[in-house]
Structure 1
Amino acid sequence: MFKNKGFVYGLGIGLIAGAVMLQLMFKVDEMENRTIRQGGPVAVDQLQAEADKLNYKVVPKDQKTYSDKDIEAIRQKASEEERSKLAAQPVPQQVPPKTVSSVYITEQMNAYHVADMLLKANLIADSNGFVTALRDKKLTTRIRAGSYSFEGGASVDDIISRITIANP
C-alpha cells in the first residue's frame, strides 16, 4: 500500500486534534464574552446577580471604597480622638456614699446609755454634749424604745427629735 503509512496516520491525527482544539478555543471565547455578545449593555440587576455568584460586590464609580487597612486607620484615628476628648474632660468628683447607722434603744436605757451607743455608732462626737442637749430640752426621760436608722452627718437635734417623744 503506502510507503509512508506512519506519516499519513500522524497527519490525520494532527488534523483531528487541531480541529478539536480550535472548537474548544471558540467555546471558551464564547463563555468568557457571553454577557457582551448577548446584546447591548448589561442591566445593573444582571451584573449584580453575576457578581453575587462570584462573591463580588458591584460599587458605583463615584462611590469611595475603603480597603481593610484604610478602615483600620480610620478606627485608630477615631479612638485617638475619643481618648483625647475624654482626657480633656474634667474628672467628676466622686461623692462618698452616705453611711447609714442603725441603733436599737431598749426601754431600760437611760440618756447616758443612749449617748454611749450613739457615740460607738459614730453618730455623735461627744456623749456628754448629747446628754446636756437632752437635759436642756428636758427630754432625758422622754426617750422612746425602738430601732432607728440615721444617715451619716445627722445633727444632734435631728437625732434628738427622732428618738424622743415631743412635749405635750
Structure 2
Amino acid sequence: MFKNRSYVFGIGTGIIVGALLLQIMSVRASAPSQTGIALDEMDPQKLKVEATKYYQVFDKNTKVFTQTEFDGAVLKKVKEETDKLAAAKPQEQPKANTPELTQKIIIYVQPNLDATAVSELLVKSGIITDRKAFITELEKQGGNTKIQIGYHVFEGFTDIPKVVTNLITVQ
C-alpha cells in the first residue's frame, strides 16, 4: 500500500523512542540529590561547607578586591616605600649605567652582526644611551655595512659620531 514504508516506520520508531526518553528525563528530575542532603534542611554552616567544594565563599563583611584595585594598592605601597628609602638615604644615589671619564671599555664585535645588534651591545655596555641616534648617525656616515669585526676600545664618555668612527675604522 505505501511505497515508502521504511520511512514511515522510522518516523514512528523515532516518536516512540523520543517519548520514552522524555519520560525517563522527567522521572530523573524528581529523584533525590546525589549528596543525600536536601538544601531546604541545611543550616547556613552546612550550606557554606557544601558551597566551598565548588566555589570561593566569603563572608558578607569581607572586602574582596578586583585585580585592578589590588595592582593599584601595590603600586601605591611601592611608591610610599621608595619615597621612604629616598628620604632616609639621600646621600646614596644609584649610579647611572654611563662609564666614568677614565674608564676603558673594550667591546668585541662578532661577524654577521647588524647595526641593531651592535647598538644593543653598545647600550648594554654603557657607551651610548640612545639606539636610534646611533643608528641614524651610522646611516649618515654610511657605515651600516662597514662595521669592522674585532675589538674596539672606548675611553671615557664619547659622543655618537666618535663611536661610529671607531666602529667603522680598522684598528
TM norm structure 2: 0.39
TM norm structure 1: 0.39
Q: Which is bigger in relative contact order (C-alpha 8 A, separation at least 6)?
A: 2
Larger radius of gyration: 1
